[in-house]
Structure 1
Amino acid sequence: MSTRFLDAAVNLLGPRGLTRDADLMEPWLTDWRGRYTGRALALASPANTQEVASLVKLCSQHRVPIVPQGGNSGMSGGATPDKSGETLLLSLRRMSAFRHWNEEARQVVCEAGVVLQTLHDAAEQRGLRFPLTLGGRGSATIGGLISTNAGGTQVLRHGTMRAQVLGLEAVLPNGEVFDTLAALKKDNRGFDLKQLLIGSEGTLGIVTAATLALAPKIAARRVMFAGLETVQQARRLLLFASARMGDTLEGFEIMPRTALESVLAYEPALRDPLTLPHQWYALFEVVADEAQAPSLEERATAVLAAALREGLLADATIATNETQAEALWALRDGISSAERAHGPAVQHDIAVPVERMPDFIVEASQMLEGRFTGTQAVAFGHLGDGNVHFHLRAPKGAKAGEWEETHGKAVSATVHDLVTQWGGSISAEHGIGQMKRDELARLGDPATLTILRSVKQALDPAGIMNPGKLVPLASRAPAP
C-alpha cells in the first residue's frame, strides 16, 4: 500500500515535491522546543493549491495520515509526526507567493508558506504594515499562524490572527478546495466556516492561502522600558498609560528580573537599559500616524513623567531612535530562546481574566515553588491581553528531558488546575497540539469537547488530518 501510494505521489508532485531522503527530512521531524521527535513516510512539498488538493485526495484514498507543517516554530508539538513512520509530512513552504495586493482596500492575498517577516517587509514597501508580530517572525509562516490563531505582541490593539483574516482558502480532508478569499464586509450565508478552520491546527483542513487585513504604516513610534517593584504595579501602569494614550498604545509586555538576566547572559551584545536592577519590568510601545507623529514623543515622555510622580514606576527610559527601540524589543523577543538555553523547565501558555493576572502570577508562583522544591517560576508576556508564558525552571542539577517527563508532568497538571480554577485557559496562543491534548480532555468543558469531536468526525471521518493533535480522544485521560 505504501509503495503504491508513494509511486502515485511522486507522479503527482515530481522529485522536488516528494522526498524520502532522511537527511532532508531530519530537520523537520523535531519540534522547535526539542520535546517531540517523530518519523515520516515522506516529506511532501506541493507547489500550489491544486497539488495540495490532489495529494489530499490521494491520501484519503490510501488512508495515509497527513501532518501539515509551516515554519516548524510551534510550541505544542502540533506539527510533528508520531513515531510510526506511516504519516506524510506535508510542508507548505514552497507555496510562498503573494497573489494579489490591494493597497486601497489595505488587503493582501498570500499563500500559506509566506514567512511573517517577508510579509512585514513587503507591506512596508507599499506604505502599509501587517499588525501582528512575534519573536519567531523570521520562520513562522502565515499558514501556521492561522492554524494556531497566533497572538504576539500587538494583540492589545489589533487582536489575534483571527482578527486579521478576511478570507481563506483551504483544502478539506476529502480533497475539496474551500474558497472564501473574497473579503466581504457582510456575508450571512450560515456558519462562518473560515473561523472554524482558524485555530484548528490542521485537524480539519490545510490552509493554503488567506486574504489578510493590513494597516497604515506608522509614521512614528516610541518604545519605553520601565522598572517596577511588583507585577501589580505593572497592571496599574498599563491602565494609566492606556487612559492617556488611547489607541496609540500598541503593546504592553512584562518580564521579571530573572528573565532579563537570562537574556543578557544569552545575548552578550544586549545591555540592561536601566542603571539599577528591579523586580519587574514593563516594555510598552506607542505609535502614531502622520497627523499625531509630531507630538508623540512629547506625549510619551509626559506619560512616563506622570507615572513616576504617581509612584507607578521606579525608573524608566525611552528609545530615541529605531536602533534603541529594536534593542529594547530584543530583550523581550529573546526570552524564549534564553529560557530554553538556561536549562530544563516546563512551559505553559496560559490566560486568566486580564484584571486577575497579576495576582495569579504571585499566588501561583509562591504555591508552585513551595510544592516543587528547588524550582523557580518565571512569568512573562502579554499582560494587556491576560496572557503570560508561565515557566517553572527545574531545580539545579536536574537532567534535561528526564525532569520534564517525570516531575514536569505533575507541575503542568498543577498549573492547569490553577488556571482552570481562576476561570482561564490552558492555551492562550500556542495551540493544544499533542502537548496539551490530554489535559484538554481532563479539564475541558464536556459540551465543548463534544462539539470538538463532532466537528472533527463530520469533516474528517477517516481521521487522516493531523491525527493525535488538538481533539481529545473520546475517553478522558487521568491526571498525571
Structure 2
Amino acid sequence: MNDFLEQCRQAVGAPHVITEPADMAGYLTDWRRRFTGRAQAVIRPSTTEEVAAIVRLCNEFRVPVVPQGGNTGLVLGSVPDESGQAIVLSLNRMNRIRAVDTINNTMTVEAGAILQQVQVAAADAGRLFPLSLAAEGSCTIGGNLATNAGGTAVLRYGNTRELCLGLEVVTAQGEIWNGLRGLRKDNTGYDLRDLYIGAEGTLGVITAAVMKLFPQPKVRLTAFAAMQSADDALQLLSLAQGKCGATLTGFELMSDFCLALVAKHFPQLKSPFPDRYPQYVLLELSDSESEEHANAMLEAVITAALEQEVIQDAVVASSIAQSKGLWNLREHIPLAQAEEGKNIKHDISVPISRIGDYIRMTDQRLQESFPGCRMVTFGHLGDGNLHYNVSAPENAADEDFIKRQPEVNKVVHDSVHEFTGSISAEHGLGALKRDEICRYKSDIEMGLMRALKQALDPKNIMNPGKVI
C-alpha cells in the first residue's frame, strides 16, 4: 500500500496526498456529524488527467474510491466506511469556470466549483443559474450532479439533471469520457450523461459539466400566505399556476410547528402574521416583463385565493430585505429543528395531488405508533417533495427516540410506497438508505441497477457500499 500512496504522490504532488489523521478529519465526518469513517488518504487532484491517474492506480491496486465535493450530503454518500481501505478523492481544487457562452446560454464548470460561485459567475455574465439550495455556499456542482439535487426552483427549472447538457467523466477504469457538448438535441444512442447524474459516484467521477443558463428575470416578487390545510395549499398552487404559468418559480409549504420552532430558536425572525395558522406557503414569481406585470399577476392570485377562502391572510414583500426575511423563515427550519434536538429526517416525494392525503394519513399512523412525536413538515410543494421530519415527543429523551428510527422509517416509507412515491426525492440514497430501497424497488429494477454497476465498475471500487 505504501507503493500505492507513493505513486499517488507522484501523480498529484506529495502535498495533495493527505495522510495525517488530524488533516483528514474534516473529510471523514458527514455533514450532520453522525458518522466518521476511516481512509488511508485524502487525495486532492487539480486536473481531470490527475483524477484519471489516481483512479487508474486505484483500479490497479483495488483501492476503493470515495469521490467528494463539499461533503454536504445527508445520506452518508460522500464519506468512507470504517474499514480504512478507501481513499477520499476530494475535487475541491478543481473549481474553475472553464467557459461561459451567453449566446448558447451555457457555462462549462469543473466539478469542485461551489454552487454559489457558479451563481455569481452567471450573474456577472448577465445570466441566471437557477439551482438554489440551503448549502449553496458549501456544496459543489459535482455533488449536485452526483445526487441530482433539487432545491427551491425545481418547479420552474427542474432538478440538476434538467440543468445539465453535458459531462466530463473519469470512468472506473481511469479513462476520460469527454461529453462536454452544449447541445439541447443529441439523439445518438444511450444517454450516458443521465446515467452518471444521480449515481452518487458509484459508476465514475464527474469532473466537469456543461450547465444551462437563463436570462436574468427583471423582477422577483415574494409572498407569504396562511391557510388551514395542505389541501388549501394545493388549491393555491393550482390558482397560481393558472394565473402565472412559468413565472411561478417557487412554492414552499411549511407547517405552523415549523415556524414555531424558528420563533423559539431564532426569535429575531418574526412571522409576518399576528395570528397563527396550520399551514403556510411561501411563493415566488420571477418575471421577465416588468414589475407592474408581476404585481398584477400576484395580486390576481391573492385576491382570488382570499375570495375563494383558499387562504386566510397574505403578505407581499415590498423590498429585497423583506423578501429575504420571508425566505429566512423557510431556510431556518432545518437549523431550528437541529437546535430543538436530534430528529429523524425524511426526504420523500409523492404525486403533488396526494400530498394532503399523505400528510394526514402518515401523521395519524405516527401518532398511533409513537404518541406525542412532532412532525416538522416542510418542503417544495410545487414538485411534490416534502422534508417530512419527525422529532421526539416534548420532554422525551432524544437518544431513546432515535433508537426507534428504523420503526419510524418503516411507517413513513411504507406510507410513501402506498402513495406511489419515492423515499428519496433529492438527497440520494448513499449508505443510509441503501438497504431500505430494496424494500420498495422491484427485483427487476434492482437487478438492472446491479447490472449497470457490474458493467461499468466490475471491480466495485467506485464508492462501494453506496446506493446498491
TM-score interval w.r.t. the shorter chain?
A: over 0.9
Matching residue of 2:424: 427
Contact 1:201 1:431 in 2 (8 A): yes
1:48 Cα offset (Å): 0.8
Asked if the contact 1:67–1:90 (Cα under 8 Å) also holds between the matched residues in 2, the reply is: yes
Distance 2:315 2:239 in 1: 17
For the Cα contact (< 8 Å) 1:151–1:429, is it kept in 2?
yes
Taking the TM superposition and a 5 Å limit, the aligned residue runs for 1:199-238 are 199-238=198-237
C-alpha distance in structure 1 between counterparts of 2:92 and 2:398, whole Å: 31
1:398 Cα deviation (Å)? 4.5
Distance across 1 between alignment mates of 2:185 and 2:256: 47
Q: Which residue of 1 aligns with 2:405?
A: 408
Alignment-mate amino acid for residue 49 of structure 1: T
Given that 1:43 and 1:89 are in contact with CA atoms closer than 8 Å, whether structure 2 keeps it comes out as yes
- Which among 385, 390, 393 is matched to residue 395 of structure 1? 393
Contact map agreement 1:134 1:333 (CA 8 A) in 2: no
Structure 2 match to 1:458 = 455
Paired with 1:268 and 1:39, the residues of 2 have a C-alpha distance of 40
Within 2, Cα distance between the matches of 1:222 and 1:315?
A: 17
Structure-2 residue corresponding to 1:250: 249
Deviations 1:273-320 (A, max 9, x none): 11111111000001111x333321232123212211110111110011
The aligned counterpart of 2:283 is 284
Aligned counterparts of 2:14 and 2:324: Cα–Cα separation in 1 = 42
* Cα distance in 1, alignment partners of residues 263 and 299 from structure 2: 26
Q: Would the aligned equivalents of 1:167 and 1:212 in 2 still touch at CA under 8 Å?
A: yes
- 1:411 deviation in Å? 0.6
- Structure 2 distance, partners of 1:152, 1:338, is 19
Look up the equivalent residue of 1:216 and give its one-letter code.
Answer: P
Tell me how far 1:248 sits from its aligned partner: 0.6
Q: Is the CA contact (8 Å cut-off) linking 2:226 and 2:280 kept in structure 1?
A: yes
How do 1:71-470 and structure 2 match up within 5 A? 71-289=70-288, 291-400=289-398, 403-404=401-402, 406-470=403-467
Deviation at 1:413, TM superposition (A): 1.5
Q: Which amino acid aligns with 1:431?
A: G
The residue type equivalent to 1:155 in the other structure is: V
* CA displacement, residues 111-157 of structure 1 (integer Å, 9 cap, x when unaligned): 00111111111111111011111111111100000000001111111
SS in 2 for 1:207: strand
For the pair 1:19 / 2:18, whether they are aligned, the reply is yes
**In 1, Cα distance between the equivalents of 2:396 and 2:450?**
38
Offset at residue 399 of structure 1 (A) = 4.3
Q: CA offset at residue 184 of structure 1? A: 2.2
Structure 1 CA distance, aligned partners of 2:293 and 2:56? Answer: 57
Change (3 A) 1:47 1:400: farther
Structure 1 residues 77 and 399: alpha-carbon distance in aligned structure 2, compared to 1, 3 A threshold: farther
> Structure 1: any 5+ residue segments left out of the alignment?
472-480
Matched, 1:56 2:55: yes
Q: 366-375 or 381-390: which moved more? A: 366-375
* Consecutive unaligned residues in structure 2, runs of 5 or more: none
Change (3 A) 1:41 1:398: farther
Q: Any idea what SS the aligned residue of 2:379 has? A: strand
1:344–1:399: 8 Å Cα contact kept in structure 2? no
Tell me the CA shift for residue 203 of structure 1.
Answer: 0.1
Task: Write the letter of the residue equivalent to 2:246.
Answer: D
Shift of 1:397: 4.5
Q: C-alpha displacement at 1:176, in angstroms?
A: 0.4
2: distance between equivalents of 1:69 and 1:340?
Answer: 24
Whether the 8 Å contact between 1:135 and 1:334 is mirrored in structure 2 is: no
Mapped partners of 2:398, 2:372: distance in 1: 15
Please tell me the residue identity of whatever aligns with 1:370.
E
Q: 1:319 to 1:435 in 2, by over 3 A?
A: same
TM-score using structure 1 length: 0.95
Residue type of the partner of 1:229? Answer: Q
Separation in 2 of the partners of 1:222 and 1:278? 23
**Native 8 Å contact 2:230 2:355 kept in 1:** no
Contact kept? 1:350, 1:419, Cα under 8 Å:
yes
CA distance in 1, matches of 2:322, 2:68: 35
- TM-score if structure 2 supplies the norm length? 0.98
Task: Tell me the number of residue pairs that the alignment of Structure 1 and Structure 2 aligns.
Answer: 468
Say which SS state the counterpart of residue 346 (structure 2) adopts.
strand
Deviation of residue 231 (structure 1)? 1.1
Q: Deviations over 1:313-336 (max 9, x none)?
A: 111100111111111111111212
- The Cα of 1:401 is off from its aligned counterpart by 5.0
Do 2:243 and 2:300's aligned partners in 1 also have CA atoms closer than 8 Å?
no
Structure 2 Cα separation of the partners of residues 255 and 335 of structure 1 = 9
Separation (CA, whole Å) in 2 of partners of 1:448 and 1:418? 20
* Compared CA separation, residues 401 and 119, structure 1 to 2 (3 A): farther
Work out the CA distance in 2 between the residues paired with 1:403 and 1:15.
46
